[in-house]
Chain A
């Protein structure tokens, strides 16, 4: 008997089978459409990424020159060692070879790779700034070191004999947080970035643009040679020309090793800084390559605080150098006649309190020029009561006291010029008396400023009111356009002070140097017609700080100088002699 002719696959079931097939095919085809057509460009990029291994070519940073085009900072090749985690995991014995060459335990090397790893197929740095011996050993054993590569990176080199750490700053490998923050500007992990000083403020100019080499590889990381057509060439950083005079910089750094001090030598006609120092400082060369933990800790824990840039960040009371503000205000507003005399008997009584002059025996009868020459406190105690807080503040503001100078060295701090509002807020509306003002007129109390602020102040005094921006950058050589771009900085001037006022002030400042009782007689330099003012700022934490600000009236040598000596006891004994040495040196060095 034959089997029945009708099978049990009914039309309904037949159509269910067809329907299921249609559904299965549709799902697959839709998915493939999604991958191949809709997301084509994504996957295409991925495939190209697979094909090439990219090598970063670090751009050499711009060279930094002094005002006579002598290099202060330049570059030299520095070798780093990197490994490809995937490849090195294929041959564990590579670690042993590396360990012997570098003289570092294999486990430590593995740990470094893990720490710097950025993906299984991306290089991870395990050692930097290799010495010549190690580099040649690695080249010799290259065949045994599968997945290990030497990368060369330009590193910063510095001129011996100059520290200028605060001025030049240094570069360091960018940290992960900054990479995320600055990813829009093209920073990548492993790049170097300016951290302090000029290296930081001129980072955009100096950094240049990294290049990329493309090397064809397969899934196992095997190298098939470079694709030169894809190479993105390096653009070196722009060179920077400073206003700094290398020799003078070297000289001002060599002044005194026992006390911290700060120096600014500045051209008062345009604000160009010829030398700027904050001592003690550090040599930026120690940050080139890897900083040893010990060197770093030594700097950090040094009681003299070499990492603080006193010149632009240190807030100090100005002492007597600030008296000129009151003198200008009194003369310009015709508060008193310059010949009006006050008697100094060594102290001044206000209510029940005694305010002392620095000279206990007293200066006797003094007019304004005498008072400036002798730096008599009692004269100014009297004067300020005529001038008043409002005018004292207004004239301070004319000189921009307590505001940022805008110097092209980063992390500048602003001082504090206390006004009515400030005092009300600090002491309560009726909580303060004229006594506070007596303190502030001699540059004490709530008034604090930075040495760089004082450099702007002395320039204004030297130029009858020109407000310059102290700066160290002079020009940038643009590598792209092959063009030297001169930098300019804002300038302003105080116009409403009459010449008679300036004449008396200048006379007073000259008397400080050449007067019989001048507090800075030591500061005179033959041929320069030095003007200046000393200051001694009381310091509740220790010895008083010494100040000297001054300038040369010789139009061939239009430079001003600011000296600050921490715990220098007095301006006359610590700061003025230093100023003399520096101006003397520089005058001689630039004599024609």
Chain B
């Protein structure tokens, strides 16, 4: 099925702009990691720098493999991938016991794998297949039942690892692809509504206003009276029960839930981390303090500086001008990818591009939002720039998925039995 003609075609189609930007970002990430990890190392090249450097090549290899894998193959084998992904997610729970932290990793001795990273691809492929070939009408709610469950299973497994950040990536990917698949926006609203209900339930005024808004939106969407009333009553009931359930929880349980969403509530330090990160970014100014001259970085006031807070290192040492350049590069990537999705000639391709793009965009926003103190500390790294072998390889893989989705090959629909 992999023939020379296909490969030649794909080489001709390759988007070199994407590749150039991604490579420059990664190289710039290497420079920053060199700076951020220079304290820890006796030698000139820190362990982190070397690992990242090797991962760059692994990532490019992975990108190549995924890019050249025919879409037809991905489409047909998506179920296999999905189940493989779930199996990998389950594995750490059996391999390690005591520490919750180790539930995230599969330790192969020389390298640690993070299965939740690989699940991102499998989920994108599986959801892509569903949206591309489903026979359900987009106007019926049944249309989204199956993909919802396909998402909720890995979401739940990663959530209890616990790794809230990654599980939210799955949710973002799902909603992004759902939107791009052409579903009525009302259905997306129905999915998000309960979340808003639960949050609004803690404030009577907010809850009342939300109730009215909810009623109006449901009324104007002309669904059947039965389902309208059902949705409305369901939401209100959930909202009324939420405070009762919340108050039943023990204080330490409440704290645990709150710190999961916002680590700054943890008195032992996340608030301090974000403050130090803001000081690092703010003190960088327009031009930055210069390479290897960031005081916040080199005196180690920045927490997790080569991973989650790499952006703070960059902003401190290179300043606002470089931040703007980075933003332009990232923005170019995302716009270019959404345009690819828009122009793609097959549904499956569109879905792959959207899934990959949303995953990377979500990471970008969550990470930078965290370093500047706009988002809670969820501990998500910054694509291409943060240190982390698994993560870098995943990011390259996602680029591979996006570029593959963009290719002209149009897979055939499998025959249904």
* Interface residues, chain A, with chain B CB atoms under 8 Å away: 1-5, 7-11, 13-14, 16-18, 21, 24-25, 27-29, 31-33, 35-37, 39-40, 42-44, 46-48, 50-51, 217-220
Chain B residues positioned under 8 Å from A29 (CB to CB): 323-324, 327
A-contact bits for B310-327, CB 8 A (1 contact / 0 none): 000001000110011001
Q: Give the size range of B's interface with the partner.
A: 35 or more
**Interface segment out of the listed B150-158, B220-228, B337-345, B388-396:** B337-345
CB distance B278 to A7 under 8 Å?
Answer: no
Once the chains are docked, how many angstroms separate the CA of A24 from the CA of B366? 10
CB distance A218 to B300 under 8 Å?
Answer: yes
CB distance A35 to B182 under 8 Å?
Answer: no
Chain B residues positioned under 8 Å from A32 (CB to CB): 281, 315, 320, 323, 368, 372
CB distance B412 to A1 under 8 Å?
Answer: yes
CB distance B331 to A21 under 8 Å?
Answer: yes
Chain B residues positioned under 8 Å from A47 (CB to CB): 279-280, 282-283, 295-296
Select one of A8, A9, A18, A40 contacting B335, CB under 8 A.
A18
Closest A-chain residue to B412, C-beta based? A2
What is the minimal beta-carbon distance from B67 to any residue of chain A, in angstroms?
20
CB distance B374 to A8 under 8 Å?
Answer: no
Closest B-chain residue to A120, C-beta based? B272
What is the minimal beta-carbon distance from A591 to any residue of chain B, in angstroms?
71
CB distance B345 to A37 under 8 Å?
Answer: no
Known contacts A3-B347, A14-B338; can you find 19 more A-B pairs with CB under 8 A?
A: A3-B412, A3-B413, A4-B346, A9-B350, A13-B179, A16-B179, A17-B338, A21-B361, A28-B369, A28-B372, A32-B315, A35-B282, A40-B286, A43-B278, A43-B283, A47-B282, A51-B295, A218-B301, A219-B276
Query: Could you say which of A28, A46, A218 has the most chain B C-beta atoms within 10 Å of its C-beta?
Result: A28
CB distance A35 to B338 under 8 Å?
Answer: no
Instruction: Answer whether residue B207 sits at the interface, using C-beta atoms and an 8 A cutoff.
Output: no
Instruction: Answer whether residue B285 sits at the interface, using C-beta atoms and an 8 A cutoff.
Output: yes
* Interface residues, chain B, with chain A CB atoms under 8 Å away: 132-133, 138, 179-182, 276, 278-286, 295-296, 298-301, 315, 319-320, 323-324, 327, 330-331, 334-335, 338-339, 341-342, 344-350, 354, 361, 365, 368-369, 372-374, 410-413
What is the minimal beta-carbon distance from A15 to any residue of chain B, in angstroms?
9
Interface of B is mostly: helix
If the complex has contacts A28-B365, A47-B279, are A9 and B342 also in contact, measured as CB distance less than 8 A? yes
Chain B residues positioned under 8 Å from A40 (CB to CB): 282-283, 285-286
If the complex has contacts A40-B283, A43-B283, are A10 and B182 also in contact, measured as CB distance less than 8 A? yes
Chain A residues positioned under 8 Å from B323 (CB to CB): 29, 32, 36
16 contacts between A and B (CB under 8 A): A7-B345, A7-B346, A8-B182, A11-B342, A13-B179, A16-B179, A24-B365, A28-B365, A31-B372, A36-B284, A36-B323, A37-B286, A47-B296, A50-B276, A217-B299, A220-B300
CB distance B180 to A44 under 8 Å?
Answer: no
What is the minimal beta-carbon distance from A24 to any residue of chain B, in angstroms?
5
If the complex has contacts A18-B338, A40-B282, are A50 and B295 also in contact, measured as CB distance less than 8 A? yes
CB distance A219 to B299 under 8 Å?
Answer: yes
Chain A residues positioned under 8 Å from B373 (CB to CB): 31
What is the minimal beta-carbon distance from A423 to any residue of chain B, in angstroms?
68
What is the minimal beta-carbon distance from A454 to any residue of chain B, in angstroms?
64
- 7 cross-chain pairs, A with B, having the tightest CB-CB distances, nearest first: A43-B282, A8-B182, A47-B283, A218-B299, A7-B350, A35-B282, A14-B342
Once the chains are docked, how many angstroms separate the CA of A13 from the CA of B300? 45
Once the chains are docked, how many angstroms separate the CA of A345 from the CA of B276? 93
What is the minimal beta-carbon distance from B292 to any residue of chain A, in angstroms?
15
CB distance B278 to A35 under 8 Å?
Answer: yes
Query: Could you say which of A3, A42, A43 has the most chain B C-beta atoms within 10 Å of its C-beta?
Result: A3
CB distance A43 to B279 under 8 Å?
Answer: yes
Select one of B276, B284, B331, B354 contacting A9, CB under 8 A.
B354
Once the chains are docked, how many angstroms separate the CA of A35 from the CA of B182? 39
What is the minimal beta-carbon distance from A548 to any residue of chain B, in angstroms?
71
If the complex has contacts A8-B182, A43-B281, are A21 and B413 also in contact, measured as CB distance less than 8 A? no
What is the minimal beta-carbon distance from A321 to any residue of chain B, in angstroms?
71
Closest B-chain residue to A25, C-beta based? B331
Once the chains are docked, how many angstroms separate the CA of A39 from the CA of B286? 11
Once the chains are docked, how many angstroms separate the CA of A106 from the CA of B203? 47
CB distance B315 to A13 under 8 Å?
Answer: no
Closest B-chain residue to A220, C-beta based? B300
What is the minimal beta-carbon distance from B199 to any residue of chain A, in angstroms?
20
Select one of A8, A39, A43 contacting B180, CB under 8 A.
A8
Once the chains are docked, how many angstroms separate the CA of A379 from the CA of B257? 96
Closest A-chain residue to B182, C-beta based? A8
What is the minimal beta-carbon distance from A220 to any residue of chain B, in angstroms?
7
CB distance A28 to B299 under 8 Å?
Answer: no
CB distance B282 to A44 under 8 Å?
Answer: yes
Chain B residues positioned under 8 Å from A3 (CB to CB): 132-133, 346-348, 410-413
CB distance A36 to B374 under 8 Å?
Answer: no
Once the chains are docked, how many angstroms separate the CA of A255 from the CA of B26? 90
Select one of A39, A48, A218 contacting B282, CB under 8 A.
A39
Once the chains are docked, how many angstroms separate the CA of A35 from the CA of B277? 11
What is the minimal beta-carbon distance from B127 to any residue of chain A, in angstroms?
14
CB distance A7 to B347 under 8 Å?
Answer: yes
Chain B residues positioned under 8 Å from A44 (CB to CB): 282-283, 285
Closest B-chain residue to A224, C-beta based? B299
CB distance A36 to B285 under 8 Å?
Answer: yes
What is the minimal beta-carbon distance from B412 to any residue of chain A, in angstroms?
6
Closest B-chain residue to A218, C-beta based? B299
Chain B residues positioned under 8 Å from A25 (CB to CB): 327, 330-331
Once the chains are docked, how many angstroms separate the CA of A393 from the CA of B285? 74
Select one of A2, A10, A219 contacting B301, CB under 8 A.
A219
What is the minimal beta-carbon distance from A387 to any residue of chain B, in angstroms?
79
Closest B-chain residue to A50, C-beta based? B301
Once the chains are docked, how many angstroms separate the CA of A288 from the CA of B319? 53
Once the chains are docked, how many angstroms separate the CA of A217 from the CA of B319? 23
What is the minimal beta-carbon distance from B132 to any residue of chain A, in angstroms?
6
What is the minimal beta-carbon distance from A45 to any residue of chain B, in angstroms?
8
Once the chains are docked, how many angstroms separate the CA of A221 from the CA of B319? 26
What is the minimal beta-carbon distance from A84 to any residue of chain B, in angstroms?
16
If the complex has contacts A7-B344, A10-B182, A44-B282, are A36 and B319 also in contact, measured as CB distance less than 8 A? yes
Once the chains are docked, how many angstroms separate the CA of A218 from the CA of B279? 15
What is the minimal beta-carbon distance from A245 to any residue of chain B, in angstroms?
58
Chain A residues positioned under 8 Å from B282 (CB to CB): 35-36, 39-40, 42-44, 46-47
What is the minimal beta-carbon distance from B277 to any residue of chain A, in angstroms?
10
CB distance B410 to A2 under 8 Å?
Answer: yes
What is the minimal beta-carbon distance from B143 to any residue of chain A, in angstroms?
12
Closest A-chain residue to B348, C-beta based? A3
Chain A residues positioned under 8 Å from B365 (CB to CB): 24, 28
Closest A-chain residue to B311, C-beta based? A32
Chain B residues positioned under 8 Å from A5 (CB to CB): 345-346, 410
CB distance A51 to B285 under 8 Å?
Answer: no
Chain A residues positioned under 8 Å from B280 (CB to CB): 47
What is the minimal beta-carbon distance from A375 to any residue of chain B, in angstroms?
79
CB distance B279 to A31 under 8 Å?
Answer: no
CB distance B347 to A8 under 8 Å?
Answer: yes
Once the chains are docked, how many angstroms separate the CA of A208 from the CA of B319? 42
Chain A residues positioned under 8 Å from B368 (CB to CB): 28, 32
Chain B residues positioned under 8 Å from A2 (CB to CB): 346, 410-413
CB distance A219 to B283 under 8 Å?
Answer: no
Once the chains are docked, how many angstroms separate the CA of A1 from the CA of B315? 52
Chain B residues positioned under 8 Å from A27 (CB to CB): 374
CB distance A35 to B345 under 8 Å?
Answer: no
Chain B residues positioned under 8 Å from A10 (CB to CB): 182
Once the chains are docked, how many angstroms separate the CA of A9 from the CA of B138? 13
Once the chains are docked, how many angstroms separate the CA of A476 from the CA of B370? 59
Once the chains are docked, how many angstroms separate the CA of A11 from the CA of B342? 8
Closest B-chain residue to A42, C-beta based? B282
Chain A residues positioned under 8 Å from B300 (CB to CB): 218-220
Select one of B180, B344, B372 contacting A35, CB under 8 A.
B372
Once the chains are docked, how many angstroms separate the CA of A24 from the CA of B335? 13
What is the minimal beta-carbon distance from B320 to any residue of chain A, in angstroms?
4
Chain B residues positioned under 8 Å from A9 (CB to CB): 180, 182, 341-342, 344, 350, 354
